[in-house]
Amino acid sequence: MSLDDVPGYEVQWADAEVCSIPGGYAMHINPAPNLGGTNLIEALNLAAEAKLTEDGPWWKSGQSLRKALDITSQLNVSFLPDEMVAQVYPDLDFSPKSRLTRDHAKQLWARMEAGAKLGGFSHNTPRHSDDVVAVDRARESRLRFD
């Protein structure tokens, strides 16, 4: 972008999309084509469907960490061609409007639990850890992720 582009720039105004999120709150987000808010609401709804908080904190629960990784990797749906997403999740509506609903998250999480995911972790041979997460027990009581 240069100064020559500024005179031709047109601001795009749009009313906020208002969505219900877990906990009984309403969130106001920018509508499509901005998908940051859509990704966030879809992730919050997936976390509720996965009962993420029931597994304990991610730094203590491998199950919780696995769910959190699966949920956050879902944001990639915003960057993939529709045809590719349809191959992984046939007959599931991924329109921005649908992705804001709890029903979409319920259907999506059921498919994810059954093994349908946009990406996965490869099993390297020989198997090894790519990352190690350590928590200092002495400092653990000061960590808060509410």
Indicate whether 137 belongs to any domain.
no
Give CA–CA dist 53/57, Å, rounded.
7
**C-alpha Rg value of the chain to the nearest Å:** 19
CA angle at 55 for the pair 77 and 92, rounded to the nearest 5°: 25
How many other C-beta atoms can be found within 10 angstroms of the C-beta atom of residue 23? Answer: 7
SS3 category, 7: helix
Residue 48 domain boundaries: 35-119
Task: Find, among 12, 5, 17, 13, the residue nearest to 100 by Cα.
Answer: 17
Give the model's pLDDT for residue 144. Answer: 46
pLDDT band with cut points at 50, 70 and 90 for residue 143: very low
Q: Report the percentage of the chain scoring pLDDT > 70.
A: 81
What is the rounded average pLDDT of the residues 17-43?
90
Indicate whether 12 belongs to any domain.
no
Peptide bond before residue 31 is cis, with ω within 30 degrees of 0 = no
What is the rounded average pLDDT of the residues 129-142?
55
Indicate whether 49 belongs to any domain.
yes
Indicate whether 24 belongs to any domain.
no
Check whether 121 has a pLDDT greater than 70.
no
Peptide bond before residue 126 is cis, with ω within 30 degrees of 0 = yes
Indicate whether 134 belongs to any domain.
no
pLDDT (tens digit, 9 = 90+) per residue, 45-95?
999 999 999 999 988 999 999 999 999 999 899 999 999 999 999 999 999
Domains in the chain: how many in total? 1
Indicate whether 109 belongs to any domain.
yes
What is the rounded average pLDDT of the residues 113-118?
90
33-58 burial, b if ≥16 CB within 10 A, otherwise e? Answer: eebebbbbbbbbbbbbbbebeebeeb
| DSSP single-letter state for residue 4 | G
Q: Which residue has the higher pLDDT, 102 or 123?
A: 102
User: Phi, psi (5° rounding) for residue 126?
Assistant: -70, 155
Residue 63's contacts (CB-CB under 8 Å, 6 or more residues apart) are: 55
pTM above 0.85, yes or no: no
Query: Is there a contact between 117 and 70 (Cβ–Cβ < 8 Å)?
Result: yes
Indicate whether 110 belongs to any domain.
yes
Indicate whether 78 belongs to any domain.
yes
